[in-house]
Amino acid sequence: MTDAPFIEIEDLYFSRGDHEIFRGINMTIPRGKVTAIMGPSGTGKTTLLKLIGGQLTPERGRIVIDGQDVHRLSRKALFTLRKRMGMLFQSGALFSDLDVFENVAFPLRVHTDLPDTMVRDLVLLKLQAVGLRGARHLTPAELSGGMARRVALARAVALDPELILYDEPFVGQDPISMGVLVQLIKRLNQALQLTSVVVSHDIKETLSIADYLYLIADGQVVAHGTPQTLDTNQDPRVSQFIHGEPDGPVPFHYPAEAFYRDILGEPPMTKTG
Amino acid sequence: MQSKFSNGTARITRLGRRGCDLMEALGRAGVFLFQSAVGVPSREGWRLWLHQMHFVGVLSLAIVLVSGLFIGMVLALQGYTILVDFGAEQALGQMVALSLLRELAPVVAALLFAGRAGSALTAEIGLMKATEQLTSMEMIGVDPLRRVVAPRLWAGFVSLPILTVGFSVVGIWGGYLVGVEWLGVFEGSYWSNMQANVAFVSDIGNGMIKSAVFALVVTWIAVFQGYDLVPTSEGISRATTRTVVYSSLAVLGLDFVLTAVMFGGL
């Protein structure tokens, strides 16, 4: 039973307006491993996390988390399922009216009846794990981007979830906090036996922590495998992304009319004779 | 001929689509109101509600009371110059009190409330949405409708009628300052005429009903606009503007309807 995958995504379709974002995605996310979902910006990686969290509803297909079909649950059952998940948002999404301590204490206060002294100990343990025990009295406005993300990580693991979803954890971080975050994600995963899903386009960092990778582009999974197999994959779309080539099958230019015509108007008449 | 025809159908299509959008938004707003307002608040809910009472109620007190004072003073001044021509300046107290209780206090307090508290509620909830605080709350397993929206909705609903009472009281006192202290209307007739001609149920009661209706509508519009906005800086500014515009129009329109029912003999 413990070998069964934690999340199964079957034939998922989703679009916003006329723009098709996913066209039949299939994924299996193993239990207790770090699975990375990569792809160029704008391919809907964050949307996929929101679909997994049940905040968006797909047009077709289903997402099953630990045996439960996310989009067939009642509102109450969905909120119960979410207690078993943590999500790290790109912006941190800390509550601006609470300080660091209360932000981390929030899930404990709303979901448990623990006495204050125990909440305090748990919060300090989580803050210690992300190295910010000394910052407990600061407000979110006083934190740097990297610190905010670490506080958000402490909050995401406050209830010891079984699944944690990371939305672009490395974007806009300086090399030091990037290293800290990479280490934290790895360590948390090993120490707490978590199932982690990392959505990212930072190749080096992601390859260093992921056990398994999915690469999505054009609304479909274009490749999947372990970091080693993807590194040697010959598919031009995969190698363009993994090796960071500016132009290739994934075009640099947004679709537009011909450059010459756009700048100079009508093409020149060719005179004969 | 053909293009004229297709222009016409396009226009009708557009009109129909706009109607559908409007109906859909109204439906969404209705479900939203139901989901956030219905339910028994927890102990934490009461604490959040008290906090919001301070934010939307107590902090609106200054602007509401100062406006009430000036409106009462202006009413007395204008009323006096007309009444004195008929030798009826003794009725000044009654005129000031009835104008305030029936009309001016509920309407002006609601308009000020929409500008002061309503816009702030929209911007606050909107910014929480734009910075993903509402989404992260959902992912933690807490319903933002219950945690963020409900305390604000109830605080607005309770505090505006109280503010309206304050507005009336200060306004009547302002009328007294100008009428009695400055223009020399006999103090006894200012108060006794008021006492004799203001009925508790039909004047004060109806004014309070108006105020409660305005409170619900203004707060509902404010929190819904905040919750439903497009989470960008432009979206927040548009939603804040919409809150003030829609609330003001709704208050003035509903005031006419309520007045017609209450005092128009309908």
Strands A85-88 and A163-167: parallel
pLDDT surpasses 80 at A215: yes
CA angle B120, B257, B33 (to 5 degrees): 40
A231 close to A242: Cβ distance less than 8 angstroms: yes
Can you say whether the dihedral through the CA atoms of A95, A98, A104, A110 is positive or negative?
Answer: negative
Q: What is the reported pLDDT for A268?
A: 58
Q: What percent of chain A has pLDDT over 70?
A: 92
pLDDT surpasses 80 at A248: no
Q: What is the DSSP string of B170-212?
A: HHHHHHHIIIIIIT---HHHHHHHHHHH--IIIIIIHHHHHHH
Question: B180: closest CA among B66, B79, B258?
Answer: B79
pLDDT surpasses 90 at A55: no
What is the pLDDT averaged over residues A156-173?
86
Looking at the complex, report in whole angstroms how far the Cα of residue A87 sits from the nearest Cα belonging to chain B: 7
Q: What is the reported pLDDT for A221?
A: 86
Tell me which residue has tokens 């029912």.
Answer: B261
Q: What percent of chain B has pLDDT over 90?
A: 73
pLDDT surpasses 70 at A2: no
Q: What percent of chain B has pLDDT over 70?
A: 97
Q: Which has the higher per-residue pLDDT, A237 or A134?
A: A134
Q: What percent of chain A has pLDDT over 90?
A: 11
Question: B173: closest CA among B41, B45, B66, B51?
Answer: B66
Cα gap B152→A69, rounded to integer Å: 34
Per CB-CB distance under 8 Å, the chain A contacts of B138 are: 53, 55, 79, 82
What is the pLDDT averaged over residues A101-130?
90
Whether pTM exceeds 0.90:
no
Q: Measured between CB atoms, does B137 come within 8 Å of chain A?
A: yes
pLDDT in tens, B22-79: 999 899 999 888 888 887 777 788 999 999 999 999 999 999 999 999 999 999 999 9
A71 close to A57: Cβ distance less than 8 angstroms: yes
Cα gap B37→A262, rounded to integer Å: 55
Q: What is the reported pLDDT for B2?
A: 55
pLDDT surpasses 50 at A79: yes
pLDDT surpasses 80 at B229: yes
Cα gap B29→A256, rounded to integer Å: 40
pLDDT surpasses 80 at A254: no
Amino acid identity of residue A49, one-letter, is L
Cα gap B247→B215, rounded to integer Å: 10
What is the pLDDT averaged over residues B129-157?
90
Residue B35: exposure state from Cβ atoms within 10 A (0-12, 13-18, ≥19): middle
pLDDT surpasses 50 at B160: yes
- The neighbour count for residue B183, using CB atoms within 10 Å, is 16
| Helix, strand counts (H, E) of chain B | 12, 0
Confidence category of residue A131, pLDDT binned at 50, 70, 90: confident
pLDDT surpasses 80 at A244: no
Full 3-state SS string of A209-266:
HCCEEEEEECCEEEEEECHHHHHCCCCHHHHHHHCCCCCCCCCCCCCCCCHHHHHHCC
What is the pLDDT averaged over residues A75-81?
85
Beta bridge partners of A34: A196
pLDDT in tens, A183-213: 888 888 888 788 899 988 888 888 888 888 8
Give Cβ neighbours of residue B113 (< 8 Å, ≥ 6 apart). B56, B60, B64, B156, B160, B163, B214, B215, B218
Strands (E), chain A: 7-16, 19-29, 34-38, 60-65, 68-69, 85-88, 163-167, 195-200, 212-217, 220-225
Q: What is the DSSP string of B142-164?
A: --HIIIIIHHHHHHHHHHHHHHH
Q: What is the reported pLDDT for B4?
A: 67
Residue A184: exposure state from Cβ atoms within 10 A (0-12, 13-18, ≥19): buried
Q: Measured between CB atoms, does A171 come within 8 Å of chain B?
A: no
Q: Which has the higher per-residue pLDDT, A273 or B80?
A: B80
Looking at the complex, report in whole angstroms how far the Cα of residue B189 sits from the nearest Cα belonging to chain A: 53
Q: Measured between CB atoms, does B42 come within 8 Å of chain A?
A: no
Cα gap A178→B137, rounded to integer Å: 25
pLDDT surpasses 80 at B256: yes
Confidence category of residue A1, pLDDT binned at 50, 70, 90: very low
Tell me what the pLDDT averaged over chain B comes to: 92
Helices B105-113, B206-228: axis angle to 10 degrees equals 20
- With CA atoms as reference, the chain B residue closest to A90 would be B132
Cα gap A96→A93, rounded to integer Å: 8
Indicate yes or no: CB of B131 within 8 angstroms of CB of A106. no
Q: Which has the higher per-residue pLDDT, A235 or A221?
A: A221
Q: Minimum mean pLDDT among A97-101, A261-265, B56-60, B87-91: which range?
A: A261-265
Q: What is the reported pLDDT for A273?
A: 44
Looking at the complex, report in whole angstroms how far the Cα of residue B121 sits from the nearest Cα belonging to chain A: 14
Q: What is the reported pLDDT for B102?
A: 93
Looking at the complex, report in whole angstroms how far the Cα of residue A124 sits from the nearest Cα belonging to chain B: 19
Give CATH superfamily name and number for A5-230. Answer: P-loop containing nucleotide triphosphate hydrolases (3.40.50.300)
The answer for A 14-53 residues in CB contact with B (under 8 A) is 50, 53
Q: What is the reported pLDDT for A262?
A: 81
What the block records as the tokens of B44 is 């934490």
B178 close to A116: Cβ distance less than 8 angstroms: no
Give Cβ neighbours of residue A60 (< 8 Å, ≥ 6 apart). A11, A12, A13
- With CA atoms as reference, the chain B residue closest to A103 would be B137
Q: What is the reported pLDDT for A250?
A: 64
Domain ranges of chain A: 5-230, 231-272
Q: What is the reported pLDDT for B174?
A: 96
Q: Measured between CB atoms, does A89 come within 8 Å of chain B?
A: yes
pLDDT in tens, B175-205: 999 999 999 899 999 999 999 999 988 899 9
